[in-house]
Amino acid sequence: MRATRPVRFVVSAIGLGWALLRAGRPAHRSLAERLGDLPLADAPVSRPVRVRWSDRQIPVIDAADDDDLAAALGIVHLHLRWTQTEVMRHLVQGRMAELVGPAALELDAAVRRFDLAAAVPEMVQALPADTGRWLERFVAGLNHAVARIDPLPFEFRVLGLGRTPWTVADVLALGRLAGADFAWTMWPALLAARRRLADWPALWRVVASAGTAAIPGSGQPGSPWPPPLGRSGSNAVAVAGARSASAAALLANDTHLPIGLPNPWILVGFRTPTQAAVGQMVPGLPVLAVGRSERLAWGAANLQSANSALLRTEVTAVERVRLRCRWWPGHRMVLRRGVAGPVVSDTPAFAGRPGEALALAWTGHRASDELSGWLALPRLADVDAAAAGLAQGNVPPLAVCLAGADGRIAGIAATEVPCRPLPPADLVEDDASPWRTAEWMAGSDADARLDPADGLLVFANNRLDRAPGRALAYMVSADDRAVRLRHLLAGTLDLAGLDAAQRDVFAASEHALAQAIVDAVARAGLDAGRHRKVLELLAGWDGRFDAGSRGALAHVAVAGGLLRAFGRRRAAAYRAIRRVPNLLMDWLAEADPTALRQALDPALRCAARTLARHGDWGTVHRLAPNHPFARVPLLGRRFAVPDHPAAGSLDTVNQTSHAYGRHRHATFYGAVSRFSCDLADPDSAHAVLLGGQDGWLGSSTFADQIALWTAGDHIALPLTPEAVAAAHPHETVIVPPA
């Protein structure tokens, strides 16, 4: 399959280009026209459901009971994000080649081998009655919209999609897709280094111990996993009432995911006699993953725990399947299983050494019930009950922040992992027994934080577990973002302070590296006068990745030049674990003057050329959220939105990832949503998405929040009926059959 990769990509590009040409341009749709598309009549509800909409097409649903709320949510999700949820369903089923042609065959093969939805049939059977009922009503709403929305989305014409009903199993499978492990994006580069570098054992010791280092790195290598997989970021903060200007608890959460359009989230509010809440949902999943009720607020960051492992295995079963493909013959593939799990090393990106069969062990292959705990949150009155309900979670592994109207806060690690020594001796492990025994450790056993003495909880993908023998993780982000947030959030706090912290662009690790480079130039005996402009910028740089910063651009260009001196495989491994700054600093401290001169001189000269050409960080580092169609050659330009200078880096609170180098690029991963609230005021919640609320191409609310995002502004998400009516002036009514 690899030999024909360029041909397959060309075929997909031609096929999609032709399909786009035939489909024409998506028509502009005003808010009134989009609300007119809603399938309101003969809906699967028992009584009329009123839905109020803001000018940015954010709904607040008012239903007579929870059954009707779930059905209305299904209708709203499909109305706003039908294509997005359908593509996600194809992705988790390993059927993307049916939509975009042979370019997706390797992706489909990888997804089939990873078997993301393996536990779903058992999960469906084990659902608690209330959760099962909620999902059935949500699916009824989805299918009502599937049958009645007219016209079909523009992308359906291009991708060859049709009206396909949903099932509860489909929804649970989307949950497993959203819970795919961040480690999978790191493995391809690490496995390549393991196959090809003679000093792999020494490199692995550095890689495996990096999770306890104080400085994070940057960049992600190429990976077969597209959005929404590979989620590894986010900042979540809870402030106790004793530290709050309002004397009530505060909460803020900004989520970090692949950047594109439509946004990975939708903003939703709802009210029934038993619950009222506002916040963020993943399209196709009927729970508020980030949000607030009248008495509670919640948010989360990825825990980056060791929920996956690669195990050397003997093959015990073989299955042959055929992948259907658009514009290309079907592809026959072999699915192998071992004692330890599905064999994933048949996918080239995850290949082991010659003769090795590597199986995936993943906690997501075990049946679990994450939804019940999240569904209960809007009804709960205190953080203790919320923490207890979330403790049963498994994937995605989350560090959850909770804030109560009584001023209390709590944090919990919501996952479970097998009890085993961490870090392992090698990336590929031999002992599968921990994954087969009943001796598993819940995250809450290792780290549950109730009412912290300093009144502040900060989760930023940093290491949480500290007790010997109770480790949840080993390759995690360092404490830099968490330390920075604690610095910014000292003293008495209000919402304005939380909002400002979410936009901070200082990177202590990169600042320290820049100073280390200046010191190394002197140690190497280089002619400082020859590189005066670059060295002055590095020495004077304040560590902030502002869009207009020349120092930030000089630093990234020099660091990229140094990284290239390590060689492609080793550099890829460093980027994979996001540890570039500390690894470069270690090398600068240990290298002899000759090695320093050989690496620094070309890096500094390259940086000078980069500065002369581009000038500042924002000219090179661009914020360009775009629809996937924008990547289609030639015709894709009609789907592109204007790009903007981007502030931040992977190491900053306002995360915007980038590769180390000198070329203009669009940030591919980072902050995509911001949410915050003060529990003293039920109408204080506000949020903003990098993009827009509507997934309908041509809609007036498809990308209308980008301007708010770049300006640091937000949208009010009130809870009280009076404030909802004022902020959401457009009303629709979903009615039952006559």
What pLDDT, in 10s, does the model give residues 601-658?
999 999 999 999 999 999 999 999 999 999 999 899 999 999 999 999 988 999 998 8
Tell me the average pLDDT across 195-204.
Answer: 89
Measured from the Cβ of residue 533, the count of other Cβ atoms closer than 10 Å reads 15
**What is the rounded distance in angstroms from the CA atom of residue 38 to the CA atom of residue 392?**
36
The pLDDT score that the predictor gives to residue 451 is 84
Q: Please say whether the beta carbons of 345 and 453 come within 8 A.
A: no
- Percentage of the chain modeled with pLDDT above 70: 93
Decide if pLDDT at 15 tops 70: yes
The pLDDT score that the predictor gives to residue 169 is 99
**What is the rounded distance in angstroms from the CA atom of residue 312 to the CA atom of residue 343?**
9
Beta-ladder partners of 715 = 687
The pLDDT score that the predictor gives to residue 518 is 96
Alpha helix stretches (DSSP H) within 289-382:
371-376
Decide if pLDDT at 232 tops 70: no
DSSP of 326-377, one letter per residue?
A: TTS--EEEEEEEETTEEB-TTSGGG--STT--EEEEEGGGS----HHHHHHG
The pLDDT score that the predictor gives to residue 516 is 96
The pLDDT score that the predictor gives to residue 215 is 27
**CA of residue 253 relative to chain centroid, distance:** 13
For residue 407, what are its two tokens?
A: 């001023």
**What is the rounded distance in angstroms from the CA atom of residue 680 to the CA atom of residue 180?**
36
The pLDDT score that the predictor gives to residue 454 is 93
Decide if pLDDT at 216 tops 70: no
Which helix (DSSP H) or strand (DSSP E) does residue 721 occupy?
helix 721-727
Least confident window among 454-468, 477-491, 704-718: 454-468
Characterize the bridge pairing of strands 235-239 and 59-62.
unpaired
Q: Mind listing the pLDDT tens digit for each residue in 115-135?
A: 999 999 999 999 999 999 999
**CA of residue 389 relative to chain centroid, distance:** 23
Decide if pLDDT at 547 tops 60: yes
Q: Please say whether the beta carbons of 359 and 346 come within 8 A.
A: no
Q: Which residue has the higher pLDDT, 466 or 216?
A: 466
Question: What is the 8-class DSSP label of residue 243?
Answer: G
**What is the rounded distance in angstroms from the CA atom of residue 277 to the CA atom of residue 59?**
12
Please name the residues in contact with 558: beta carbons below 8 A apart, sequence gap of 6 or more: 514, 517, 534, 538, 600, 603, 604, 606, 607
The distance in angstroms from the start CA to the end CA of the chain is 55
Helix axes 550-564, 568-576, angle to 10 degrees: 130
Radius of gyration of the chain (CA): 25
Least confident window among 161-175, 254-268, 651-665, 715-729: 651-665
Q: Please say whether the beta carbons of 735 and 708 come within 8 A.
A: no
Fill in the amino acid letter for 2: R
Tell me the average pLDDT across 577-592.
Answer: 84
Tell me the average pLDDT across 581-595.
Answer: 89
pTM: 0.94
- At 217, the pLDDT band (50, 70, 90 cuts) reads very low
**CA of residue 10 relative to chain centroid, distance:** 29
Characterize the bridge pairing of strands 331-338 and 235-239.
unpaired
**CA of residue 55 relative to chain centroid, distance:** 27
For residue 641, what are its two tokens?
A: 């939105």
The pLDDT score that the predictor gives to residue 443 is 62
Q: Mind listing the pLDDT tens digit for each residue in 146-159?
A: 999 999 999 999 99
Measured from the Cβ of residue 71, the count of other Cβ atoms closer than 10 Å reads 31
**What is the rounded distance in angstroms from the CA atom of residue 373 to the CA atom of residue 593?**
58
**What is the rounded distance in angstroms from the CA atom of residue 628 to the CA atom of residue 356?**
36
**What is the rounded distance in angstroms from the CA atom of residue 403 to the CA atom of residue 28?**
41
Tell me the average pLDDT across 709-733.
Answer: 98
Least confident window among 304-313, 326-335, 469-478: 469-478
For residue 483, give the nearest of 459, 499, 465 by alpha carbon.
459
Q: To the nearest whole number, what is the mean pLDDT of the chain? A: 91
Helix (H, G, I), strand (E, B) or coil at 398: strand
- Percentage of the chain modeled with pLDDT above 90: 77
Decide if pLDDT at 229 tops 50: no
The pLDDT score that the predictor gives to residue 5 is 86
- At 214, the pLDDT band (50, 70, 90 cuts) reads very low
Q: Please say whether the beta carbons of 618 and 548 come within 8 A.
A: yes
Q: Mind listing the pLDDT tens digit for each residue in 400-418?
A: 999 999 999 999 988 888 8
**160 in the Ramachandran plot: left (φ > 0), alpha (ψ -120 to 50) or beta?**
left
Helix axes 593-614, 532-540, angle to 10 degrees: 90
For residue 239, give the nearest of 401, 399, 465, 384 by alpha carbon.
401
Question: What is the 8-class DSSP label of residue 657?
Answer: -
Tell me the average pLDDT across 687-708.
Answer: 98
**What is the rounded distance in angstroms from the CA atom of residue 265 to the CA atom of residue 54?**
17
The pLDDT score that the predictor gives to residue 231 is 40
Q: Mind listing the pLDDT tens digit for each residue in 167-184?
A: 999 999 999 999 999 889
Maximum alpha-carbon separation in the chain: 86
Helix (H, G, I), strand (E, B) or coil at 357: coil
Least confident window among 287-291, 547-551, 580-584: 580-584
**What is the rounded distance in angstroms from the CA atom of residue 293 to the CA atom of residue 379?**
8
Tell me the average pLDDT across 227-243.
Answer: 76
For residue 338, what are its two tokens?
A: 């071992």
- At 420, the pLDDT band (50, 70, 90 cuts) reads confident
Tell me the average pLDDT across 25-37.
Answer: 97
Q: Please say whether the beta carbons of 358 and 129 come within 8 A.
A: no
Q: Which residue has the higher pLDDT, 535 or 202?
A: 535
- At 438, the pLDDT band (50, 70, 90 cuts) reads low
Cβ density class 104-134: b for 16+ within 10 Å, e for less:
bbbbbbbbbbbbbbbbbeebbeebeeebbeb
- At 222, the pLDDT band (50, 70, 90 cuts) reads very low
The pLDDT score that the predictor gives to residue 206 is 80
